[in-house]
C-alpha cells in the first residue's frame, strides 16, 4: 500500500497524537480514492500511523491509528474502550442515555454515537467514516443488545466532505420516540423529529447545576427544546418555570416532559415564541434565566454574525434579570471558543450596565471526553453569572 509522506517539519502534530492532517503538511500523496485509509509516514520513512484521506476537505487526513497498529484493529479497540468507559461511570437504572462515542474524544474522528436505552443514534461526519460504516455497524451491534441503530447524519461538515445529508435505519426496527431516564428523571426523546441526535446529553452536568440554584426562583428556560432544564429547575424547588422556544413541536415535547415528571399546573408555562422577541418584553420577572441556544455559527464565516446574536440575547438577559439573579448562558458553536464567548458576554454586561460575576464555568459531562491531544473536542462552553 502506498503511503502519504509528510513534510520534514510538519509531522509534529501527528507525533503528538493529534488526529488532523492539513494539506499544507503533506509532501506526497499517492493515487487513491477519496475516503481511503492510507499509511502515514514521516519524510524519513517512519510509519506514524494510518489515516483516511479526502482531498476535498480542508482537513485532508484524519488519523484512526497511531503507530503500527492495523487501522481496523484500532477502530475495534477504540469502540470497545469507549463503551467500557461508559459502563464504568453510568448506572443504567439511574441514567440510561449517554454518549458512547465522542469522535476524536474517543479516538474515532468523524463518528458520534448516542445511546437512548436500547436505541443507538449515530452521526457520521466524514467520507472516511462513511466508507468504514460496515465495520462500525459490526462492532457496535456486538457491543450490546440493541433494538435499533438510527443514523441522523445531518452535519454541516458533510458538505465539505462531498456527502449529502442522510437519515436511515442501518440496523433493527424503526423507532420514532424513546423513553429514557436521566438522574432518575423520566423524559421522552423524539428521535424522528429531533435536533441533532434527540437530546442534549452534553448538558447533563449543567442541568444538575441549574437544579441546585433554582430553589425559590422564577426561572426562564430560553431555547427550551425538550424542556429538560425546566424539569430540573422544578425538581430544584423553583417557584415557576417558563419554557420558551420558537418551535411549536419543541414546546409540545417540553410540555410532555414536564407532565411526565408531574408538573402540569400554573407554575409551568410553555410558550412558542422567538426568544429574541420574548426577552424584549417589558413585563419580564425572572430570578434565573437560562440561555441554551442552538449553534449560531455553523461555519467559520458565521462567527461575526453569531457573536452579534450571542451578545444580543445575553445583554437582554443580563439587563432584565432581577437584582441578585442568575444567568446561565452557553454557546455550542465550534468556531467560537471560550475566550471569545467570554468577551461577548463581557460586552453584553457592559451594554446592560449591570454588575456581573462569573460564578462557575461549564461542567463537562463525562460521556463527552476531551482528548488531551486534540483540544478541539471541547466545543461547548458556558458560564453561570451572578447579576446585581
Catalytic residue numbers read: 332
Question: Which residues, at least 6 apart from 275, have a Cβ–Cβ distance to it below 8 Å?
Answer: 222, 223, 244, 245, 246, 291, 293, 313
Whether the Cβ atoms of residue 109 and residue 134 lie closer than 8 Å to each other: no
Ramachandran bin of 181, using left for φ above 0, alpha for ψ from -120 to 50, beta for the remaining angles: beta
Distance CA 331, CA 51 (A): 31
Q: How far apart are alpha carbons 382 and 341 in whole angstroms?
A: 8
Distance CA 315, CA 338 (A): 18
Separation in Å, CA 118 to CA 95, 159, 174, 267:
12, 30, 12, 34
Distances in Å between the Cα of 233 and the Cα atoms of 211, 216, 228 are 5, 10, 9
C-alpha 242/C-alpha 383 separation (Å) is: 20
- The separation between the first and the last C-alpha atoms of the chain, rounded to the nearest angstrom, is 65
**Spatial contact of 185 and 231, defined as CB atoms under 8 Å apart:** yes
Question: Residue 97's beta-bridge partner residues?
Answer: 116
CA angle at 208 for the pair 203 and 213, rounded to the nearest 5°: 120
Residues 329, 320: Cα–Cα separation, whole Å: 14
Indicate the pairing of strand 111-116 with strand 185-190.
unpaired
How distant, in Å, are the alpha carbons of 101, 233, 315 from that of 112? 5, 29, 34
Alpha-carbon distance of 50 to 62, in angstroms, equals 8
Amino acid at each position: 500500500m502506498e503511503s502519504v509522506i509528510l513534510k520534514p517539519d510538519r509531522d509534529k502534530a501527528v507525533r503528538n497524537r493529534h488526529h488532523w492532517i492539513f494539506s499544507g503538511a503533506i509532501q506526497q500523496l499517492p493515487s487513491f480514492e477519496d475516503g481511503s485509509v492510507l499509511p502515514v509516514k514521516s519524510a524519513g520513512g517512519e510509519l506514524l500511523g494510518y489515516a483516511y484521506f479526502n482531498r476535498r476537505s480542508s482537513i485532508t487526513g484524519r488519523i484512526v491509528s497511531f503507530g503500527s497498529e492495523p487501522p481496523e484493529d484500532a477502530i475495534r479497540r477504540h469502540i470497545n474502550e469507549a463503551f467500557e468507559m461508559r459502563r464504568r461511570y453510568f448506572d443504567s437504572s439511574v441514567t440510561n442515555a449517554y454518549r458512547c462515542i465522542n469522535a476524536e474524544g474517543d479516538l474515532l474522528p468523524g463518528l458520534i454515537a448516542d445511546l437512548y436505552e436500547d436505541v443507538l443514534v449515530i452521526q457520521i461526519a466524514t467520507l472516511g467514516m462513511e466508507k468504514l460504516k460496515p465495520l462500525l455497524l459490526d462492532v457496535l451491534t456486538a457491543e450490546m443488545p440493541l433494538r435499533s441503530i438510527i443514523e441522523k447524519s445531518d452535519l454541516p461538515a458533510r458538505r465539505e466532505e462531498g456527502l449529502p445529508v442522510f437519515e436511515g435505519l442501518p440496523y433493527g426496527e424503526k423507532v420514532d420516540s424513546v423513553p429514557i431516564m436521566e438522574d432518575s428523571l423520566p423524559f421522552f426523546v423524539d428521535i424522528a423529529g429531533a435536533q441533532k441526535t434527540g437530546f442534549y446529553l452534553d448538558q447533563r452536568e449543567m442541568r444538575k447545576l441549574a437544579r441546585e440554584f433554582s430553589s425559590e426562583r422564577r426561572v426562564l428556560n430560553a431555547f427550551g427544546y425538550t424542556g429538560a432544564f425546566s424539569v430540573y429547575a422544578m425538581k430544584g424547588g423553583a417557584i415557576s418555570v417558563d419554557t420558551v422556544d420558537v418551535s411549536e413541536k419543541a414546546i409540545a415535547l417540553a410540555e410532555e416532559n414536564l407532565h411526565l415528571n408531574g408538573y402540569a399546573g400554573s407554575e409551568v408555562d410553555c410558550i412558542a415564541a422567538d426568544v429574541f422577541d420574548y426577552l424584549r418584553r417589558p413585563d419580564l420577572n425572572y430570578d434565573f434565566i437560562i440561555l441554551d441556544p442552538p449553534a449560531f455559527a455553523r461555519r467559520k464565516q458565521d462567527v461575526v454574525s453569531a457573536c452579534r446574536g450571542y451578545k444580543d440575547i445575553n445583554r437582554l438577559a443580563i439587563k432584565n434579570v432581577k437584582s441578585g439573579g442568575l444567568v446561565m448562558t452557553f454557546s455550542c458553536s465550534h468556531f467560537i471558543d471560550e475566550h471569545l464567548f467570554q468577551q461577548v458576554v463581557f460586552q453584553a454586561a457592559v451594554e446592560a450596565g449591570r454588575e456581573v460575576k462569573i460564578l462557575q464555568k461549564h461542567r463537562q459531562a463525562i460521556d463527552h471526553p476531551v482528548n488531551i491531544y486534540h483540544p478541539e473536542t471541547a466545543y461547548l462552553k458556558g458560564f453561570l453569572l451572578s447579576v446585581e
